[in-house]
Structure 1
Amino acid sequence: MLLSAAGVAMCLVGGWLWITRWSKLRHLLDTPTSRIRSAAQGYVELAGVLRGLPDTPPLMAPLTATPCLWWRYRIEEYQSGGKRGSWRILEQGSSEELLRLFDATGDCLIDPRGAEVLPARRDRWTGNQRRPRGAPPGGVLAWLTGHRQYRYTEERLHADEPLYAIGDFRTSGGGRQGLDLTAAQGRVVREWKEDYAGLLQRFDNNRDGRLDQAEWGRVRLAADLEAHRRNRLASSQQALHQLVRPGEGLPFVLSSHGEEVLVRRYRWQAAGGAMLCLFGAALLAARVAG
């Protein structure tokens, strides 16, 4: 019974790992790298350098108080149970402030929420306080410390680091957005209806307290002109590029490592998942045969 349960678990975990990592691998390989200025709207791959937001001070990492642009941390407590012990997560979190990616053609704001973030900067150390008193000890001090009750992990992204990003690319302003006249006109009319008294004052020519067919025609014509005016105003503004979490289960990855490193990582993880799934299937077959 135990072997059967282990075989099923291996098949499920290995199959999930194989499918998810292989899917990410294919999306990374099949999506060409774009320049920010000329990137198409939709799912794109970008590569550049992280920069701080203008007139915005850097973040302070919660465990080491290190200035950075993004952080993620975890605090764990060691719990002994018989002959074996384990680490239990007490506290964890990550920053949600926007990031700014820069390449030779322009810059793009990145909303990191929902992304798989793989930073190059990672510190892990132990201590006897629930929260550490500062940066991790280095050199000989790190080896002289014995067993500690708490374990701390902090990961960070810093300014001027390279960043690989793949996600949903959107641009507003700069003449990049088209005009869906029907939808834009509808939004204007709905906005005007919220102040129905003002709408009557503008378009109820015969002052009978309602808008007849001819008067509604004038409302639609005025809304058409207003929609065009708003579109021209938006197009005259500087283009704002953003990268956000895509829909339809597409990967959203931010990494300090290049695409080649990610491809190798996902390829090995997919292969490991496939091997685990096959091993689980072999256990099940052996159980059935026995």
Structure 2
Amino acid sequence: MLLSAAGVAMCLIGGWLWSSRWSKLRHLLDTPTSRIRSAAQGYVELAGVLRGLPEMPPLLAPLTATPCLWWRYRIEEYCSGGKRGSWRILEQGSSEGLLRLFDATGDCLIDPRGAEVLPARRDRWTGNQRHPRSARPAGVLAWLTGHRQYRYTEERLHADEPLYAIGDFRTTGGGRQGLDLLVAQGQVVREWKEDYAGLLQRFDNNRDGQLDQAEWSRVRLAAGLEAQQRHRLASDRQALHQLVRPEEGLPFVLSSHGEEVLARRFRWQAAGGAALCLLGAVVLAARMVG
């Protein structure tokens, strides 16, 4: 019974790993790299350099207090039970502040929430305090820290590091958005209706306390002109580019490694999932024959 359950589990886990990693691999390989200034709206792949936001001070990573632009950490406790022990997660978390990706044509803000982030900077060490009181010890000092009951992992993204990103690209301002006049006009009218007294004061010419058909025509005409003016002002503003999590469930990946490294990693993980699924099938077949 246990052998059959193990075979089923291997098939399910291996199948899921193969399917998810192969899907990521195909999207990475099939999506060409775009320049920020000329990128189309929608699902795109970008590559550039991380820069700090001018108005924001650098973040401090929670375990080492290292200045960075993004961090993720985990604290684990060693639990001994019987002949084998295991590590249990006590705390974990990641930062959610915006990142700024820069290439030769412009910059793009990235909302990292929901992304699979694969940073190059990763520190792991052990200690005897739940929260490390200082930066990671090194060399002989790390070996002499005594009973190591806790394990700490911290990953970071730093300024001026390369970044590969694939996700949903959106631009506001800069004349990139077209005007749907009827929709925009209706929005203006709804805003004006919230102050109905002000609307009457502007358009109730005969002062009878209501708007007749001719007066409503004037309201719609003025609202249309207001909508066009707002669109012109928005178009005059500098374009703001953003990369966010896709709504269609497409991969959202941020990585310090280039596309080739990621593709190789996803290819090996997909192969490992397929092998695990096949091994589970062999176990089930052997169980049925036996």
Aligned partner of 2:216: which letter?
W
202-211 vs 95-104, which moves further: 202-211
Q: Distance in 2 between matches of 1:198 and 1:192?
A: 8
Shift of 1:187: 1.4
**Alignment-derived partner of residue 232 in structure 1:** 232
Identify the residue that residue 198 of structure 1 maps to in structure 2.
Answer: 198
Partner of 1:168: 168
Distance of 1:177 and 1:168 partners within structure 2: 16
What is the CA distance between 1:110 and its match in structure 2? 0.6
Q: Deviations over 1:147-183 (max 9, x none)?
A: 4111111000000000000011111111111112122
Structure 2: which 5+ runs fail to align?
none
Paired with 1:169 and 1:146, the residues of 2 have a C-alpha distance of 50
**In structure 1, what residue type is equivalent to 2:22?**
W
Q: Structure 2-normalised TM-score? A: 0.97
Report the Cα distance in structure 2 between the residues aligned to 1:105 and 1:206, rounded to whole angstroms: 57
Paired residue for 1:73? 73
Counterpart residue identity of residue 281, structure 2: A
Q: What's 2:255 paired with?
A: 255
Corresponding residue for residue 100 of structure 1: 100
Contact 2:71 2:157 in 1 (8 A): yes
Superposed counterparts of 1:152-163, under 5 Å: 152-163=152-163
Contact 2:58-2:67 at 8 Å conserved across structures: yes
CA distance, structure 2, for counterparts of residue 119 and residue 193 of structure 1: 51
1:211 aligned onto 2:211: yes
Amino acid of the residue matched to residue 251 of structure 1? P
Report the AA paired with residue 185 of structure 1.
Q
* Contact 2:63 2:73 (8 Å CA) reproduced: yes
What CA distance in whole angstroms lies between the structure 1 residues aligned with 2:285 and 2:202?
79
Q: What's the secondary structure of 1:123's corresponding residue?
A: strand
Residues 44 and 167 in structure 2, CA contact (< 8 A), matched pair in contact too: yes
The amino acid that maps onto 2:237 is: Q
Would the aligned equivalents of 2:52 and 2:159 in 1 still touch at CA under 8 Å? yes
Tell me the residue number matched to 1:56: 56
Aligned-partner Cα distance in 1 for 2:119–2:103: 19
Number of matched residues?
290
What SS class does the counterpart of residue 210 from structure 1 fall into?
A: coil
**For residues 161-208 of structure 1, what are the alpha-carbon distances to aligned partners after superposition, in whole Å with 9 as ceiling and x for unaligned?**
000000111111111111121221121111111112111221222222
| 1:146 Cα deviation after fit | 4.9
In structure 1, give the amino acid aligned to 2:74: R
Between the aligned partners of 2:235 and 2:79, the Cα distance in structure 1 is 59
Is this contact kept in 1: 2:128–2:146, CA < 8 A?
Answer: no
Match runs of 1:183-194 below 5 Å: 183-194=183-194
Q: Deviations over 1:232-283 (max 9, x none)?
A: 0000011111111111110110000000000000000111111111111121
TM-score, L = length of structure 1: 0.97
Q: Residue by residue, what CA displacement relative to the aligned partner does 1:114-142 show, whole Å, maximum 9, x if unpaired? A: 11100000111111111001111112223
- Whether the aligned pair in 1 keeps the contact of 2:42 and 2:169 (CA below 8 Å) is yes
Give the secondary-structure state (helix, strand or coil) at the position aligned to 1:112.
coil
Q: Which moved more, 1:217-226 or 1:95-104?
A: 217-226
CA distance in 1, matches of 2:268, 2:181: 49
Q: Does 1:32 align with 2:32?
A: yes
CA distance in 2, matches of 1:103, 1:129: 42
Check conservation: 2:58, 2:68, Cα contact below 8 A: yes
User: Aligned residue for 2:122?
Assistant: 122
